[in-house]
Amino acid sequence: MPDDPGRRERKKQATRQALVAAAVRLFADRDYDEVSVADIAEAADVSKRTFFLHFPTKEDVLLADGAGRAALAVRAVEERAPGAPLSETLAAAADRMITSAEADLPTGLAALRARLVVTSPAVQARVLHTTFAAQTRITAAVRDAYDLDDVTAAALVGALMGAISAATITSLERGDTPEETLAAMRTATSVALRCAVTPGS
Amino acid sequence: MPDDPGRRERKKQATRQALVAAAVRLFADRDYDEVSVADIAEAADVSKRTFFLHFPTKEDVLLADGAGRAALAVRAVEERAPGAPLSETLAAAADRMITSAEADLPTGLAALRARLVVTSPAVQARVLHTTFAAQTRITAAVRDAYDLDDVTAAALVGALMGAISAATITSLERGDTPEETLAAMRTATSVALRCAVTPGS
DNA sequence: TGCATCACTATACTGAGTGCATTAATTATC
DNA sequence: GATAATTAATGCACTCAGTATAGTGATGCA
């Protein structure tokens, strides 16, 4: 498959991967705040300036793929079956994201990220923010697909994403296994989509 | 009423208020990134070091009262009528927060904060983060009150708060009037609590 | 072969946030 | 009322994230 991206592009990706790899390696040993961008750049044998050519902030080196996750959900909305009910479409979007999260469980990256989200406020804030950005794009897709007004669409998607985020972080903070965390995400989805839970009332 | 907090404490609060006032004044003129902590401290006639004695980060000077808002919601849960259904309790908690937000509409502070949340990613991230922290405390109250498991409680409260946050920011970004934003918050609450909306399906 | 592009570099800068030693005003104690 | 213990505030030096600028060299393309 000579899908040749050119040598220049290949080298660029190599540098990027080296930075991610160096970051993962260093964060595995030390706490988030004890690793500086200069350290990461040094370990990847590039200049600090180069780091910021590849990642806008220090946190982003850990979130390399987050944007792709939202794209999956957007596609799930756009490719819905004709006439599919809203709740079904939302469920499908959530399922795509959760399944994709499942995919990178085997790489230790998921666990590392989980630890850092729990221990570092800066990372947690960044995750919340990128999640919210993703949410905005999903909201637009849902709004257009079902001809809703802005606020209703935002509330619907916000409820779904809010439930999943909260449940995920709760599970991580509790020290759950990755499988348990995935189960928590699925539970949250059904809680948000059918409000018919209320066991205690 | 000699509810004497002591002169020292009074002076401390005065300094704090001066910092908030100076910040509000400066942010009203310039963009968030164009005002440095040193500027704020200078305008309040204190040292930069003193600023950080009162606020952990630059963003926090804008969120002086956020923690109080969560306390209201927690109290709403704790003071629920005996046997009140979960949905009713959550609605009451949401209503308390929204009403409290309504209270500081007359002060221009609400509008200023709104503008900064929309224009500055740093502020938005911080708001999301503090909102999430508040959410954690509300979740604990709900979990205990209704004897739920961690994940279900987190998902329930997360859905409610996620819907309100998303709708609020959407409304702000659209340039709504404060009244319209409050209406959006109320809409979001009912969307999250009764999933019986789905007009388009 | 020559030219344009672009990844990367070196250096110096701004601004957020912290550590530490110090001062001066308040509060508590005798 | 003098004295000692707190503590809000200060000044200064420091680390580190992120940016500006100018420049070098490899790569891609005509």
Selected residue with higher pLDDT from B197 and B114:
B114
Distances (CA, A) of B57 to B36, B53, B128: 12, 10, 15
Q: How far is CA B167 from the centre of its chain?
A: 14
Rounded to whole angstroms, how far apart are CA atoms A199 and B12? Answer: 48
Is residue B47 over pLDDT 70? yes
Estimate the crossing angle of helix B109-119 against helix B7-29, to 10 degrees. 60
Considering just the CA atoms, what is the radius of gyration of chain A in Å? 19
Q: Name the residue type at position A183.
A: A
Structural element, H or E, at residue A154: helix A150-173
**CATH top-level class of B61-196:** mainly alpha
Using CB atoms, pick whichever of A146, A150, A193 lies closest to residue B170. Answer: A150
Measure A198 CA to C23 C1' (Å). Answer: 60
Number of A:B CB contacts under 8 A?
170
Q: Name the residue type at position B13.
A: Q
Is residue B1 over pLDDT 80? no
**CATH 3.40.50 for the A5-55 domain, yes or no:** no
Q: What is the mean pLDDT of residues A96-107?
A: 85
What's the mean pLDDT when you consider all of chain A?
A: 89
pLDDT reported for residue A155: 96
Measure A15 CA to D23 C1' (Å). Answer: 21
What's the mean pLDDT when you consider all of chain B?
A: 89
Q: Name the residue type at position A45.
A: D
Which nucleotide across the nucleic acid strands is nearest to B11, CA versus C1'? Answer: D8
CATH 1.10.10 domain position(s) in chain A:
5-55
pLDDT reported for residue B111: 82
Q: Do B188 and A151 touch (CB under 8 A)?
A: yes
Tell me the pLDDT tens digit for each residue of B137-191: 999 999 999 999 999 999 999 999 999 999 999 999 998 988 999 999 999 999 9
Nearest chain B residue to A88, by CA: B201
Tell me the pLDDT tens digit for each residue of A39-92: 999 999 999 999 999 999 999 999 877 777 888 999 999 999 998 999 999 999
pLDDT reported for residue B201: 32
Q: What is the mean pLDDT of residues A164-182?
A: 92
pTM of the predicted model, to two decimals? 0.89
Q: Do B152 and A191 touch (CB under 8 A)?
A: yes
Is residue A150 over pLDDT 90? yes
- Which residues from B are below 8 Å from A60, CB to CB? none
Tell me the pLDDT tens digit for each residue of A20-41: 999 999 999 999 999 999 999 9
Chain C footprint bases within 7 A of protein beta carbons: 6-12, 14-20, 26-28
Contact A158, A135 (CB under 8 A): yes
Using CB atoms, pick whichever of A139, A161, A191 lies closest to residue B156. Answer: A191
- Which residues from A are below 8 Å from B194, CB to CB? 195
Is residue B104 over pLDDT 90? no
Is residue B23 over pLDDT 50? yes
Measure B58 CA to C11 C1' (Å). Answer: 29
pLDDT reported for residue A197: 33
Which nucleotide across the nucleic acid strands is nearest to B59, CA versus C1'? Answer: C16
Buried/exposed code over A28-42 (b: 16+ C-beta within 10 A; e: otherwise): eeeebeebebeebbe
**Mutate which: B151, B164, B179, vs A, most A CBs within 10 A:** B151
- Which residues from A are below 8 Å from B158, CB to CB? 162-167, 188, 192
How many angstroms separate the most distant Cα atoms in chain B? 63
Question: How confident is residue B3, by pLDDT bands cut at 50, 70 and 90?
Answer: low
Selected residue with higher pLDDT from A35 and B118:
A35
Selected residue with higher pLDDT from A106 and B154:
B154
What is the 3-class SS of A25-74, one letter each residue? HHHHHCCHHHCCHHHHHHHCCCCHHHHHHHCCCCHHHHCCCHHHHHHHHH
Contact B69, B104 (CB under 8 A): no
Question: How confident is residue A200, by pLDDT bands cut at 50, 70 and 90?
Answer: very low
CATH 1.10.357 domain position(s) in chain B:
61-196
